[in-house]
């Protein structure tokens, strides 16, 4: 379930640990995990660790030739990047790849094998299409332009990564609750005021989740192996039947495009596709 806040948490932890270190060896334990010639990363030095959308991207510099390449990890559902320091366990279940650097070992562990490890010579193919909602360039005006003309359900629209990057099922639900917007609304039907509310909710929920090192239900672990704590602050996600923290009415669960959606029908009223001017 790693979404933007979880990936950001991992990146912030790994940056000081990996930066400047040399990749001594890369062991691949799942033949289907790597994409591209990932072994080209070996022997190079880590010069940057960043988040692009939901990916963790390491920049690797080649000393002599001045070449540069990029190792990208997508955690998808159950992936974890775990920092072992100088003492790494010999074998453990679901280990897909192991990166040995001179300052320690980084393990890529993934139960369900949706996660990917990818090598690119250039950064461009790794750049997501969508706008990063935590970037300073993400304004309410730009959000309004992105939403314009879309007939998609609002919750479904928030999950697509070619408009905004970083949201998944948990934060889409939480953001819509904060914005007091019904998940079944048509994305293009929002008024200017509603777009502003959605923009504020996006910024606020993501900022708070990063501050709490993300959300852990069962799978997400930080690079240190610790869990996130934002699940304590979730208002509606996985709270079906529980009282809404605002109005005390029952939170409901409905299935939208095969995914659970949680919301408060009283605080997030309406389901129409008709824009109401205001």
Q: Which of 3, 6, 8, 194 is catalytic?
A: 3
Q: Is residue 54 annotated as a catalytic residue, yes or no? A: yes
* Stretch of 40-48, 65-73, 146-154, 264-272 lying at the interface with DNA (CB under 7 A): 146-154
> What is the closest distance, in whole angstroms, from the C-beta atom of residue 159 to DNA in the complex?
6
Q: Is residue 120 annotated as a catalytic residue, yes or no? A: no
Q: Is 1 in the site for DNA (CB under 7 A)?
A: yes
> What is the closest distance, in whole angstroms, from the C-beta atom of residue 162 to DNA in the complex?
8
Q: Is 218 in the site for DNA (CB under 7 A)?
A: yes
> What is the closest distance, in whole angstroms, from the C-beta atom of residue 271 to DNA in the complex?
13
Q: What is the 3-state secondary structure (H, E, C) of the chain?
A: CCCHHHHHHHHHHHHHHHCCCEEEEEEECCCCCEECCHHHHCCCEEEEEEEECCEEEEEEECCCCCCEEEEEEECCCCEEEEEEECCCCCCCCCEEEEEEECCEEEEEEECCCCCEEEEECCCHHHCCCCECCCCCCCCHHHHHHHHCCCCCEHHHHHHCCCCECCCCHHHHHHHHHHHCCCCCCEHHHCCHHHHHHHHHHHHHHHHHHHHCCCCCCCCCCCCCCCCCCHHHHCCCCCCCCCECCCCCCECEEEEECCEEEEECCCCCCCCCCCCCCC
Q: Is residue 269 annotated as a catalytic residue, yes or no? A: no
| Closer residue to DNA, CB minimum distance, 67 or 257 | 257
* Stretch of 13-21, 59-67, 95-103, 167-175 lying at the interface with DNA (CB under 7 A): 167-175
Q: For DNA, how many residues bind (rule: CB under 7 A)?
A: 31
> What is the closest distance, in whole angstroms, from the C-beta atom of residue 156 to DNA in the complex?
6
Q: Which of 2, 5, 34, 133 is catalytic?
A: 2
Q: Is 260 in the site for DNA (CB under 7 A)?
A: yes
Binding site for DNA (CB under 7 A): 1-3, 32, 53-54, 74, 76-77, 93-94, 111-114, 150-153, 156, 159, 161, 168-170, 218, 238, 257-260
């Amino acid at each position: 379930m790693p979404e933007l806040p979880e990936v950001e948490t991992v990146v912030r932890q790994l940056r000081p640990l990996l930066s400047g270190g040399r990749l001594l060896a890369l062991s691949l334990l799942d033949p289907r995990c790597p994409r591209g010639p990932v072994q080209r990363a070996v022997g190079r030095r880590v010069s940057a660790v960043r988040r692009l959308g939901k990916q963790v991207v390491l920049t690797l510099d080649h000393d002599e030739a001045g070449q540069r390449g990029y190792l990208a990890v997508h955690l998808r559902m159950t992936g974890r990047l775990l920092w072992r320091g100088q003492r790494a366990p010999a074998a453990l279940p679901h280990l897909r790849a192991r990166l040995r650097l001179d300052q320690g070992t980084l393990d890529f562990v993934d139960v369900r094998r949706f996660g990917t490890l990818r090598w690119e010579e250039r950064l461009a193919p790794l750049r997501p299409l969508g706008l990063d909602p935590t970037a300073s360039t993400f304004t309410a005006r730009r959000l309004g332009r992105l939403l314009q003309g879309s007939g998609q359900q609002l919750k479904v629209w928030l999950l697509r990564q070619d408009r905004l990057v970083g949201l998944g099922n948990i934060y889409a639900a939480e953001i819509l609750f904060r914005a007091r917007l019904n998940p079944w609304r048509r994305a293009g039907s929002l008024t200017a005021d509603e777009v502003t509310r959605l923009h504020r909710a996006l910024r606020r929920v993501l900022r708070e989740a990063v501050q709490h090192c993300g959300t852990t239900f069962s799978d997400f672990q930080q690079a240190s192996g610790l869990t996130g704590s934002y699940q304590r602050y979730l208002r509606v996600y996985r709270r079906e039947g529980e009282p809404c923290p605002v109005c005390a009415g029952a939170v409901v669960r409905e299935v939208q495009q095969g995914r659970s959606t949680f919301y408060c029908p009283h605080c997030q009223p309406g389901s129409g596709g008709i824009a109401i001017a205001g």
